[in-house]
Amino acid sequence: MSKIKVTQVKSSIDRSERQKATLIALGLKKISQSAEHEATPQILGMISKVAHLVKTEK
Neighbours of 58 (CB within 10 A): 7
pLDDT digits (tens, 9 = 90+) for 40-53: 999 999 999 999 99
pLDDT of residue 1: 78
33: DSSP letter: -
For the chain, domains (ranges, CATH) are: 3-57 (3.30.1390.20)
pLDDT of residue 8: 98
The rounded average pLDDT for each run of 10 residues, N- to C-terminus, in the chain (58 residues) is 95 97 97 97 98 97
**Could you give the CA distance from residue 52 to residue 21 in angstroms, rounded to a whole number?**
15
